[in-house]
Amino acid sequence: MEEKLSFEYAPAPESRALVTIKPKYGHFIGGKFVAGSKHFPTINPATEEVLSQISLAGKADVDAAVKAARKAYTTTWSKMSGKERGKYLFRIARIMQERSREFAVLETLDNGKPIRESRDVDVPLAAAHFFYHAGWADKLEYAGLGTTPKAHGVAGQIIPWNFPLLMLAWKVAPALAAGNTVVLKPAETTSLTALLFAEVCQQAELPAGVVNIVTGDGSTGALIVNHPGIDKIAFTGSTEVGKIIARAVAPTNKSVTLELGGKAANIIFEDAAIDESVEGIVNGIFFNQGHVCCAGSRLILQESIADEVIEKLKNRMAKIRVGDPMDKNTDLGAINSKEQLLKIRELSAAGDSEGAQRWSAPCDLPGKGFWFAPTIFTGVTQAHRIAREEIFGPVLSVLTFRTPQEAIDKANNTPFGLSAGIWSEKGSKVLWASQQLRAGVIWANTFNKFDPTSPFGGYKESGWGREGGRHGLSAYLKGVSHE
Amino acid sequence: MNFYGLVDGTEASLKKYLGSLSGVDQVGADARAAMLATRSIKTTSKRWAIDTAITMVDLTTLEGADTPGKVKALCTKAVRPDPTDSTVPSVGAVCVYNDMVEIARTHLDLIGGQHVGVAAVSTAFPSGRASMAVKIQDTKDAVNAGASEIDMVIDRGAFLSGRYIEVFDEIVKIREVCGTKAHLKVIFETGELVTYDNVRKASFLAMAAGADFIKTSTGKVAPAATAPVVLVMLEAVRDFYAMTQVRIGVKPAGGIRNTKDAIKQLVLVNETAGPEWLKPSLFRIGASALLNDLLMQRMKMDDGYYASPQYVTID
């Protein structure tokens, strides 16, 4: 018998044999894969291995995609009954479930997130969004959005790299259910699952041109935003880019929804269930490496329990398993890109220089790839940059409060307003706090829970409009107020 | 006794102590336990976990039909779980009713099983419904017969009606009977306490009263040792250690029937209380059928295929 002093988990890697990555990809336009002209590499951020070459869409490619989407809208999709549209959505959802392992492995390779999360969160939720919206397709008249809700036409959709497939689902499913056709651009660093989704569209025999996918960087996004043939823009990404888009579409007839940044307050009252709160803090900021717009990145902790909670949090953080995202036991994977890693480092350095105390979980980070240990800063005040700016990484800023009103004031003292968390075993306090907080999503005694039936979106600089639920559906229908 | 300085033995101090405990959010505890159940334990770590789990088994027979012959057979199995493979370690203890203690102890000593403990269920197991005098005598009998471990049940009726001081006093008295001769395991019957708040409260109550181990269940009531209940108890011993620098053991019992379940328990221990608890002096698993599944999985890892159940002994 091999003697070991402790319970070391042997590597448990998920197989990547399931996925076939082509050396080079084009765009998906009019139901076909078409070759691109210029290419750029997409890498595995955990190893820096080049996975494939992705096409950079220029004006001609975007024009072709918009043209295909318009044609599909005019000739097919707008004439089809909701019931028939729903069948396609159900079919897509089922195929996504059938190919869920393939999607999960590919997502983890391209994005760097742990396979446990892509397998248990991203892919099942993405399929759930298609199932949910499939049910709406033939019931739009009964959604309470007017008697004859009409699609916009062609929707241009730009999605981020943190939940590539899930964000695609949030965008494509409601658009199609409402009767729009789409031109979608995945993020520059994470195009592969969107391209696999294009295969699913073919497999589902979705009419050509209903879904078009063009890959590229910000320049491709700008071509979509400014394209005169597009009726509606949906964007998820940074507040900085969101503002550019808002300016660009302001003088046009385009309808727009924006889901932008956040700096969510996670408020722990002294009467909270402490162990579950600690889990909630960990889930709030370390889920998906903190690459979550609604991450609970500001821990707002009642002073009377601060020492106890921080000590428990550090013990818990020491157990976070950082490393190979393909290992089924990994909790925290790779930072998605070098650029993002540099941003996290820059803001963390600002935390140091402004006098906050940094503590990182002891862990061995791999030599290659982009990594950042789970980190907290204590002694943070409202005036620190790390309490104001979105870090978008596994870095938590800890602030304290003395009275419930102080907690609310600190939580609301931000240009953002996407989400917030409240932890208390006292129901009346939870209800009071949730009424005071200016955030689009408020979790009580939990964090980072998502469901297609629940509208998601922000106040203030966190965005315009909602995604998910009836509210999200309304964004894809004409003449409907969607706030 | 000074009860670690946490309580002074009065009802007022006990209420204050129990009142200071944080609540447990059921949804959160369930979610954490479910997440830890996804851990994938393979190859060398699986082998380590199987052998460690074998040393933690309290091999149990608690039937009205128990006979000296049945108990002796159990003892033989406890010492050498696999007669064909001497590298298989002995289990932690055998667990029997109090009239079988002497038979078990004598037989274990006879066959070279001095290192295997004898645990006796006590205090009117499994219901706990008897007078205190009977419960004390029950325990005395077991200790005098050679039990090295006493698995007592608490009075769930008293606990659920808020008479915590009665439960506390009962544990203190049984602790006195055990003296230095026997370790005391306190069984909560978590399936009857129902809420995780109660489980946490019972854990802290029992630890302050002098329990060496806290144990989920009798095995006679379902649900028994569910993962979230064990999680809550492991959090309690971890927090109690932070308060007192004393490590209390945990024993899930009931419903852990196969290797997968046992490994999930070890993962819970490893990532909640910590690796310090991964030894039989601080973690036991009360089970009967589990041992054979551990043996079969062990054979499978050595041989590369599943043997017929006839290759492990039925008792």
The residues, any chain, with a CB within 8 Å of residue A27's CB and separated by 6 or more, are: A33, A34, A36, A55, A57, A61, A65, A212, A213, A214, A215
Number of domains in chain B: 1
8 Å CB contact between A467 and A456? yes
* Helix, strand, coil distribution of chain B in percent, nearest 5: 50, 10, 35
Assigned domain for B308 exists: no
Contacts of B43 in chain A (CB under 8 A): 10
Asked if A10 lies within 8 A of B42 by C-beta distance, the reply is: yes
CATH of the domain at B31: 3.20.20.70
Per-residue model confidence (pLDDT) at position A481: 53
pLDDT at A2: 41
Give the Cα separation of A138 and A84 in Å (integer).
8
Across the A:B interface, residue pairs with CB atoms under 8 Å apart total: 80
A26 CB-side CA count, 13 A: 12
Neighbours of B219 (CB within 10 A): 23
Q: Which domain holds residue B22?
A: 3-299
Residue B249 has φ and ψ, to the nearest 5°, of -85, 165
> Is the separation of the CB atoms in B294 and B89 below 8 Å?
no
Asked, as a colleague might, if the bond just before B126 is cis with ω within 30 of 0, I would say yes
Using only the alpha carbons of chain B, give its radius of gyration: 19
A444 and B CB contact within 8 Å:
no
User: Is A298:A397 a contact under the CB 8 Å cutoff?
Assistant: yes
CB contact under 8 A, A10 and B24: no
Q: Residue A8 is nearest to which of B24, B31, B45, comparing CB atoms?
A: B45
Is B40 in contact with A12 (Cβ distance < 8 A)? Answer: yes
Per-residue pLDDT of chain A (483 residues; tens, 9 = 90+): 444 557 999 999 999 999 999 999 999 999 999 999 999 999 999 999 999 999 999 999 999 999 999 999 999 999 999 999 999 999 999 999 999 999 999 999 999 999 999 999 999 999 999 999 999 999 999 998 888 899 999 999 999 999 999 999 999 999 999 999 999 999 999 999 999 999 999 999 999 999 999 999 999 999 999 999 999 999 999 999 999 999 999 999 999 999 999 999 999 999 999 999 999 999 999 999 999 999 999 999 999 999 999 999 999 999 999 999 999 999 999 999 999 999 999 999 999 999 999 999 999 999 999 999 999 999 999 999 999 999 999 999 999 999 999 999 999 999 999 999 999 999 999 999 999 999 999 999 999 999 999 999 999 999 999 999 999 999 999 865 544
Main-chain dihedrals φ then ψ at residue B114, nearest 5 degrees: -60, -25
Facing residues of A28 across strands?
A: A33, A213
Q: Which of A9, A11, A425 sits opposite B23 (nearest CB)?
A: A425
Mutate to test the interface with B, among A5, A275, A329, A332 (most CBs of B within 10 A): A275
A67 touches chain B (CB under 8 A): no
Q: Residues of B with CB below 8 A from A15's CB? A: none
The domain covering A265-444 belongs, at the CATH homologous superfamily level, to: Aldehyde Dehydrogenase; Chain A, domain 2 (3.40.309.10)
Judged by CB atoms closer than 8 Å, whether chains meet at A275 and B41 is answered as no
CA distance A237 to chain B (A): 29
Ranges of beta strands (E only) in chain B are 57-60, 93-96, 117-122, 149-153, 183-187, 213-215, 249-251, 285-287
- Residues of chain B short of pLDDT 50, as ranges, are none
B290, B262 contact by CB (below 8 A): yes
Interface test with A, best of B20, B21, B22, B266 (most A CBs within 10 A): B22
Residue A10 to residue B43, Cβ atoms within 8 A = yes
Q: B30 contacts in A (CB within 8 Å)?
A: none
Which residues, at least 6 apart from B305, have a Cβ–Cβ distance to it below 8 Å?
Answer: none
Q: How many angstroms separate the Cα of B210 from the Cα of each of A197, B15, B156, B282?
A: 60, 17, 18, 15
B195 min Cα distance to partner chain A (Å):
14
CB contact under 8 A, B45 and A273: no
Please state, in angstroms and rounded to a whole number, the distance separating the CA atoms of residues A370 and B78: 51
Neighbours of A139 (CB within 10 A): 13
**How far B173 CA lies from chain A's nearest CA (Å)?**
32
B231: nearest CA partner in chain A: A275
Compute the nearest-CA separation of B37 from chain A (Å). 11
pTM for this predicted structure = 0.96
Contact check, Cβ <8 Å, B87/A1: yes
**B-chain residue closest to A270, CA distance:** B22
Contacts of A319 in chain B (CB under 8 A): 271
**Structure letter (DSSP) for residue B279:** S
CB < 8 Å to A116, chain B: 38
What sign does the CA torsion over B153, B158, B160, B165 have?
Answer: negative
Largest Cα–Cα separation, chain B: 60
Indicate yes or no: CB of B46 within 8 angstroms of CB of A10.
yes
B38 vs A1, A116, A319: nearest CB: A116
Count of beta carbons in the 10 Å neighbourhood of residue A452: 24
* Interface contact A7-B48, CB threshold 8 A: yes
Nearest residue in chain A measured CA to CA from B275: A6
Strand partners, A158: A185, A235
> Domain locations in chain A?
27-260+460-474, 265-444
B112: left (phi over 0), alpha (psi -120 to 50) or beta: left
Cβ of A7 within 8 Å of Cβ of B270? The answer is yes
Residue B58 lies in a domain: yes
Nearest Cβ partner for A276 among B24, B44, B278:
B24
| Whether the complex's predicted ipTM surpasses the cut of 0.85 | yes
Q: Which of B24, B31, B87 sits opposite A273 (nearest CB)?
A: B24
> Is residue B295, in this structure, part of any structural domain at all?
yes
Q: Does A328 touch chain B (CB under 8 A)?
A: yes
List the structure tokens of B1: 């006794």
Catalytic center residues of A: 259, 293
Which CATH architecture describes the domain A27-260+460-474?
3-Layer(aba) Sandwich (3.40)
Contacts of B42 in chain A (CB under 8 A): 10-12
